[in-house]
Chains A and B, each alone.
Chain A
């Protein structure tokens, strides 16, 4: 047997990592980190409930692209489109990367002089402690494309990252760096499945008094496997707000590591996931880590999952309040609505508090449709399936409420209604 044949899948994956040009030191450091920690196994504390095998495998599991007939997401919104096709920037389909108040460049064209070179991989590195996130290090080391966005003013027009999946075997690795200067504001929209397998990392540096809004819709593909990592640093008086809608997908793991480093900052992260494993598997995992390292910080985690026909949901959410982070207000809720007895939700809420004057709460519930409410609706003439759909929307409402801008909220609700209409009984 040759040496190659004896390698484990993880070793084979690591052996294949190549470092693209640009961001050289950061990439080499990331590779060192990656080799030191290795890829995760089922015995790793935060991988017990989500099987990393398909994310580790040297080649992605083939995944058929899904073609939907819905109007383009955010299509009515004036936005700057940046399109990636199977993980590769598509200049043709993208708009000019020019927007007032913003500098946008491609990672693949950035050389080490770029403003981003001091930031690339930095927040990801910080996010490796105390919990290792090897796939994010893999991403930093090997991402060939992505965007570097520097926001200097209040930007009205959202930047829309659109991820198209066309090839059955694409392995998309994208790394974005977003830096909001003091007082800046931007909305970043992300949508699409990205590839047969995708590893997407976004580092976001939110400077003093800046405001970052993020709304993400992970496409309707059933077979794609996706791992995402958001690493954000939130400074004094700044706001970070992220919402994700996931419907379908064989495997999704959304990690979000938020670091509140300045006083009076806000960090809100929310998600709504809908899975129906009737014809294809659905496994969805939200793994969140919020660190309060400054005073009077407010954080919210609001996660809701609707699971049917054996779909699986995981939530691992932690609030860490460091010594001195007084008057912290941390809130966390994770809830699953199981539409049958085959579906499953596993939740691990964690609080670790080293300051005495803080207010933190967390809750997790798993439940079925409320029979009393269902009867109330039916007694008014609403048929069971439609009544159930209304109650699902009712269940998801708190998560949707986390979206600040009404136009996006409405669009998300429309997509939810579409999914519910397609997945009746």
Chain B
């Protein structure tokens, strides 16, 4: 279970408050979506939860299955089952995708006191998962994300998720830059990981991803807060009317969005 309470975050280097009291409880096995205009703080929330530098938590807390996320190193959070599919996956020249995946998996296993996976088992695992995401062997051999198209990068994020088998997956705009086919591949990949216990926090600007990955709960975020929470119908409402009406209702100036 992910529990975020009254989370306030500002930039470390600047006097700029970005999250202004986020509350969110995500139970095991559930899919929550966060929608919201650009600049509302969605990515910031995902970064703070996964431990990126540059932010200062001024108030509030966040726990994942009892682990105080805000005090743990990013690698500890990962080993505890947190995974962030990046909005902009990072290119790492000179490091093979396979090396990267194996190092990540074994690091997590080691941190959890589990034995390392054998080279043979690892190969089998990757081949199987890659196949369902239509990731070819060539892409696995290349350096991490280097020369990948936008869609390939996003599929590679889902591949990592499939291999690392996290308990809590945060997807930050995984749909951005994807065409219809790529979106289907990615959504199918995510849906295949829905097993009744794994949880998802799906951040998206548009409703269309939620046609494929059906959320249990939809939150609307604006100006660093969750301003509305509802069922899937809330996403449809936003799709139809845009964010303007909602922002108005909560007295948030449009230029904030």
A residues within 8 Å of B by Cβ?
A: 371-373, 375-384, 386-387, 390-391, 393-398, 400
CB distance from A376 to the nearest CB of B (A): 4
Contact indicator A378/B93 (Cβ below 8 Å): no
Contact indicator B94/A379 (Cβ below 8 Å): no
Residues of A within 8 A of B100 (CB): 377, 380, 390
User: Does B75 make an interface contact (CB < 8 A)?
Assistant: yes
* Residues 92-144 of B at the A interface (beta carbon under 8 Å): 92-95, 99-100, 103-105, 107-108, 111, 143
Contact indicator B107/A376 (Cβ below 8 Å): no
User: Do A375 and B75 form a contact, CB below 8 Å, given A381-B104, A393-B94?
Assistant: no
Residue in contact with B107 in the complex, picked from A382, A393, A394, CB distance below 8 Å? A382
User: Do A382 and B103 form a contact, CB below 8 Å, given A371-B53, A376-B86?
Assistant: yes
Contact indicator A379/B84 (Cβ below 8 Å): yes
CB distance from B70 to the nearest CB of A (A): 15
CB distance from A389 to the nearest CB of B (A): 10
Contact indicator B95/A375 (Cβ below 8 Å): no
CB distance from A86 to the nearest CB of B (A): 37
Chain A residue with minimal CB distance to B74? A378
Interface centre among A372, A375, A391 (most CB of B within 10 A): A375
User: Do A376 and B78 form a contact, CB below 8 Å, given A381-B104, A382-B107?
Assistant: no
Chain B 34-77 near chain A by CB (<8 Å), digits 1 or 0: 00000000000000001111000000000000000000011101
Chain A binding site: helix, strand, loop or mixed by DSSP?
helix
Contact indicator B51/A380 (Cβ below 8 Å): no
Contact indicator B78/A380 (Cβ below 8 Å): yes
Contact indicator B92/A394 (Cβ below 8 Å): yes
CB distance from A211 to the nearest CB of B (A): 26
Residues of B within 8 A of A384 (CB): 73, 75
Contact indicator A391/B92 (Cβ below 8 Å): yes
CB distance from B62 to the nearest CB of A (A): 15
Closest 5 CB pairs of A and B: A397-B94, A381-B78, A381-B108, A380-B104, A394-B94
Chain B residue with minimal CB distance to A413? B94
Residues of A within 8 A of B83 (CB): 379
Chain A residue with minimal CB distance to B166? A381
Chain B residue with minimal CB distance to A399? B94
Contact indicator B90/A372 (Cβ below 8 Å): yes
Alpha-carbon gap, A381 to B143, bound state (A): 18
Alpha-carbon gap, A395 to B92, bound state (A): 9
User: Does B164 make an interface contact (CB < 8 A)?
Assistant: yes
Known: A391-B92, A397-B93; 13 extra A-B contacts, CB below 8 A, are A372-B90, A376-B86, A377-B100, A379-B78, A380-B78, A380-B107, A383-B73, A383-B111, A390-B92, A390-B95, A390-B100, A394-B92, A394-B94
Alpha-carbon gap, A373 to B103, bound state (A): 15
User: Does B160 make an interface contact (CB < 8 A)?
Assistant: yes
Residues of A within 8 A of B77 (CB): 379
Contact indicator A382/B75 (Cβ below 8 Å): yes
Residues of B within 8 A of A383 (CB): 73, 75, 107, 111
Alpha-carbon gap, A215 to B111, bound state (A): 39
Residue in contact with B103 in the complex, picked from A375, A386, A395, CB distance below 8 Å? A386
CB distance from A39 to the nearest CB of B (A): 40
Residues of A within 8 A of B89 (CB): 376
